[in-house]
Structure 1
Amino acid sequence: MKKNIHLSVLLIVLLIVSCKQDVKKVVVEEKATETSAEPDKKKPLSPHTSTMAMIGDAHIHIDYSSPGVRNRIIFGGLLAYDQLWQAGAHMATWIETNKDLIIDGKMLPAGKYGFFTIPSKEEWTIIFNSNWDQHGKDEYEEKDDVLRFKVKPIISDEVTEHLEYQVNKINDNEGAISLSWEKVSIKFNFKVNQ
């Protein structure tokens, strides 16, 4: 009889302990389900961004999506040489100026422009196109180019992970626009037309 009581007590204790562990397991599983039910808040692969600066009275604004290198060969790989590129991801990159600019000895009238490039190993073609509101280069037409000129790329040992534009002031009348991505940078100066 005593054996049966001890055995019964032991079974009851084991049952209680087992139930408590099952309850804990259920609570943990419910919390895990609640957490995974939240929307995925991953950072976009090509975040939309912009840069701007005042050079004298000129307000220069660049709007673009900034793709990452993500262990890829970009120029001459992902982006073939000698092919038109919208100089960003998704929508075409655009540049807006409220003042006429002189770039490469040519006038760029105040306005908003699609910014395109044709990268190559030795030199890049820089293009300001009147059609600024387009997906990628889907609607690009050369006849809409307002300004074209060439620059030499600068090759670095360091990798710029995400495409980055900068507008830098040289003085009250001059500035520089640069693009850097992977191990390549390009840069060109401009003057505000007085």
Structure 2
Amino acid sequence: MTIPYPLALAGLALLLAPAAQAQTKLTIPQPSPTVKMREAFSTSFVELNYSRPSLKGRVAFGGLVPYGQVWRLGANTVTKIRFGEEVKLAGQTVPAGTYALLAIPGKADWTFILNRDTAQWGAYSYQQSLDVVRLSAKATKLAASQETMLLSLENVRPAAADLLLTWERTQVALPLLANPDPLVLAQIQEAMKGDKKPYLTAAQYYYNSNQPDLTPALGWLDAAIQAKPSYSAYYWKAKLLQKQGKKQEAATAANQSLELVKTDQNEVAKAEYTRLNQQLLAEVGGRK
């Protein structure tokens, strides 16, 4: 029996379909590469998850990205940002959590948006009713053009940083602030109840965070020295005393640190703490 030609073609298509479906998947360069970054900040972290579009000869703002319209702040799915603790972003309090990060670009004034819908594709299903906060920022013009869009944390300090958008010749900064003191001081209080008390680390935090009362920190260092004298404990005791304006006592502690560091077998540590103590002695008017 002769099979009609149309039926023969249909049968051949069915035979070839599984082979077509099983073809090798190609791995090709992404036009807008995905970035997943997590950076330590304050007592926790900041995470960014976004895709980086490039200019490719196009105009970014006022062209590819229209002014005055909600933008996904990148390419592909919406940009996401996660804070590991409560922060202030551009002066607004933001609880710990994950948010969609969008923007409304302007020629000079920008609006950034934190939105609860982190599953949206682009900004096509954006709902203003799900906004957590809106933030205002000024754009600055760069001398050189940035080909590929970049979101980054810059000017990072222990509890402050700038969240920067840089693309084309535009840069916009959102100041980021944390308040780690309540968290860290509570940790210290709890840790001092245990067997392995973090005397040195706690004293260093008191110094570096400019706590108004340094008395507890000096007590911790005295306890550490009593348990096991060390040049590092004496050095930080000298630093705390110097901050209190007790120059003679600071010089005494620095000289005790210098004596102990002489016996250290680690030449790098010996050189570093010798230099640090000599610098401190010069500052308080003690001997070098």
State TM-score, norm by structure 2.
0.52
State how far apart, in whole Å, the 1-side matches of 2:129 and 2:165 are.
24
Q: Which amino acid is 2:108 matched to?
A: E
Deviates more, 1:39-48 or 1:82-91: 39-48
Gaps of 5+ in 2: 1-23, 181-288
Aligned to 1:90: 76
State how far apart, in whole Å, the 1-side matches of 2:70 and 2:178 are.
28
Q: Which residue among 140, 147, 154 is the counterpart of 2:126? A: 140
Structure 1 contact 159–181 (Cα < 8 Å) conserved: yes
Q: Residue 179 in 1 paired to residue 159 in 2? A: no
**What is the deviation of 1:105?**
2.4
Q: Residue 122 in 1 paired to residue 108 in 2? A: yes
Cα distance change, pair 169–157 in 1 and its aligned pair in 2 (3 A):
closer
State how far apart, in whole Å, the 2-side matches of 1:162 and 1:112 are.
25
Tell me the secondary structure at the aligned position of residue 174 of structure 2: strand
**What is the deviation of 1:157?**
2.6
Pairing of 1:149-188 with structure 2 (within 5 A): 149-188=135-174
**What is the deviation of 1:39?**
7.3
State how far apart, in whole Å, the 1-side matches of 2:84 and 2:141 are.
32
Structure 2 contact 92–135 (Cα < 8 Å) conserved: no
Higher helix share: 2
Q: Which amino acid is 1:101 matched to?
A: V
**What is the deviation of 1:41?**
5.1
RMSD: 1.8
Pairing of 1:6-155 with structure 2 (within 5 A): 42-155=28-141
* 1:126-168 Cα shifts (integer Å, max 9, x gaps): 1111111210012211111111111011111311111111113
State how far apart, in whole Å, the 2-side matches of 1:51 and 1:182 are.
22
Structure 2 contact 108–140 (Cα < 8 Å) conserved: no
Aligned residues: 158
Tell me the secondary structure at the aligned position of residue 73 of structure 1: coil
Higher strand share: 1
Structure 1 contact 52–167 (Cα < 8 Å) conserved: no
**What is the deviation of 1:169?**
4.9
Structure 1 contact 99–193 (Cα < 8 Å) conserved: no
